[in-house]
């Protein structure tokens, strides 16, 4: 039986992870799990710690165990990635998937896919993930990669296929909502429902779901509600880069001043795509602007 399915032992920890409730994942009591589920649970907890910025500790934690367990080797790669060493991480993964056994391992696929994608090797990531055997994590990752490549059509297909066998599982709903936010129209509303339900129920609420809800509301043009959700998120975690970034976008949309938010985002995450993108565009502007000048210089 799939341990992540609704009846499985790992359903709750797995859901916590994907709802962005990382502290709950780490605090999850794994002692009562059956032995075969202990490792997947540990991997989830390690991933949660990486997500909370404890990549160094994780590396130290699993040192020496990576040879025995390809899963942990993949976790190590992920930790490398989180520490900003994307290329080394990708190399590790590539080496890891050389062996067939490891390539068939769902955890390795998912973590490896993440690392490869983050290192810019989307094709390799997709190839690795394509080998999955009914892993929703892999599906969600594939969907995300398609969306990042702007292949909305492929993402839609992937979700539709998963919907057929995985029904109403959390990850399918999430992936569908990601696609929905890209497609727009009525899909905005549906995506909003999913995020809102997660964000507003105390059992599933987290900063990530709140931010997701806010993003959906932003796309729906409900700026006030989006603002409320983001403020709620920032209250929970004032340093959440995505929340700050989206609040910045929101303020830009509503015509408010954004300098303060820009600097606070700069402080929390200087590498945030919003900032890097903006810097790039700023250069582009300067370059493009030089092509024009007045016939007569100003007196």
Residues in region 146-185 near other proteins by CB under 8 A? 147-148, 150-153, 167-168, 174, 178, 181-185
Interface residue with other proteins, options 1, 68, 101, 298 (CB under 8 A): 298
Which H or E element spans position 194?
helix 186-200
By rule CB under 8 A, what count of residues binds other proteins?
88
The single-letter DSSP state of residue 222 is: -
Considering the rule CB under 8 A, would residue 266 count as an interface residue with other proteins?
Answer: no
Nearer to other proteins, 50 or 102 (CB): 50
Return the closest-CA partner of residue 197 out of 222, 183, 216.
216
Nearer to other proteins, 100 or 116 (CB): 116
CA pair distance 26, 165, nearest whole angstrom? 29
CB of 207 to other proteins, least distance (A): 8
Interface residue with other proteins, options 38, 95, 160, 189 (CB under 8 A): 189
Cα dihedral 224, 229, 235, 236, rounded to 10, equals 180
- Maximum Cα–Cα distance for the chain, whole Å? 82
CB of 101 to other proteins, least distance (A): 23
Return the closest-CA partner of residue 79 out of 93, 94, 98, 99.
93
Considering the rule CB under 8 A, would residue 15 count as an interface residue with other proteins?
Answer: yes
**84 Cα distance to chain centroid:** 16
Considering the rule CB under 8 A, would residue 221 count as an interface residue with other proteins?
Answer: yes
- What residues numbered 36-95 form the site for other proteins, per CB under 8 A? 47-48, 50-51, 78, 81-82
Choices 35-43, 90-98, 100-108, 248-256; region in contact with other proteins by CB under 8 A: 248-256
Nearer to other proteins, 10 or 215 (CB): 215
Considering the rule CB under 8 A, would residue 1 count as an interface residue with other proteins?
Answer: no
Nearer to other proteins, 13 or 101 (CB): 13
Return the closest-CA partner of residue 218 out of 192, 240, 242, 183.
192
Contacts of 221 (CB under 8 A, 6+ apart): none
CB of 146 to other proteins, least distance (A): 11
Nearer to other proteins, 66 or 209 (CB): 209
Interface residue with other proteins, options 64, 98, 100, 293 (CB under 8 A): 293
Residue with tokens 């976008």: 249
CA pair distance 104, 100, nearest whole angstrom? 6
Asked if 177 and 140 count as a contact pair (C-beta separation under 8 A), the reply is no
Choices 33-41, 64-72, 101-109, 145-153; region in contact with other proteins by CB under 8 A: 145-153
3-state secondary structure of 82: helix
Interface residue with other proteins, options 37, 220, 231, 268 (CB under 8 A): 220
Contacts of 156 (CB under 8 A, 6+ apart): 179, 183
Interface residue with other proteins, options 62, 66, 208, 234 (CB under 8 A): 208
């Amino acid at each position: 039986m799939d341990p992540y399915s609704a009846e499985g032992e790992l359903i709750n920890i797995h859901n916590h992870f994907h709802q962005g409730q990382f502290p709950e994942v780490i605090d999850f009591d794994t002692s009562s799990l059956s032995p075969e589920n202990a490792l997947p649970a540990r991997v989830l907890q390690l991933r949660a710690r990486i997500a909370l910025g404890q990549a160094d500790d994780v590396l130290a934690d699993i040192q020496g165990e990576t040879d025995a367990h390809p899963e942990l080797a993949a976790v190590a790669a992920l930790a490398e990635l989180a520490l900003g060493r994307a290329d080394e991480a990708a190399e590790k993964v590539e080496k890891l998937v050389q062996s067939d056994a490891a390539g068939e391992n769902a955890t390795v696929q998912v973590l490896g896919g993440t690392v490869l994608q983050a290192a810019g090797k989307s094709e390799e990531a997709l190839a690795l993930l394509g080998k999955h055997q009914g892993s929703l994590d892999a599906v969600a990752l594939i969907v995300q990669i398609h969306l990042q490549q702007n292949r909305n059509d492929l993402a839609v297909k992937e979700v539709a296929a998963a919907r057929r066998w995985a029904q109403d599982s959390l990850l399918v709903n999430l992936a569908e909502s990601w696609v929905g936010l890209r497609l727009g129209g009525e899909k905005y509303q549906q995506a909003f429902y999913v995020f809102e339900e997660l964000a507003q129920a105390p059992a599933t609420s987290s900063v990530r779901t709140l931010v997701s809800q806010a993003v959906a509301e932003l796309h729906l043009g409900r700026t006030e509600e989006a603002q409320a959700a983001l403020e709620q998120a920032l209250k929970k975690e004032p340093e959440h880069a995505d929340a700050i970034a989206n609040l910045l976008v929101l303020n830009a949309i509503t015509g408010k001043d954004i300098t303060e938010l820009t600097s606070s985002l700069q402080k929390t995450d200087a590498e945030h795509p919003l900032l890097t993108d903006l810097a790039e565009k700023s250069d582009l502007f300067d370059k493009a602007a030089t092509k024009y000048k007045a016939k007569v210089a100003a007196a």
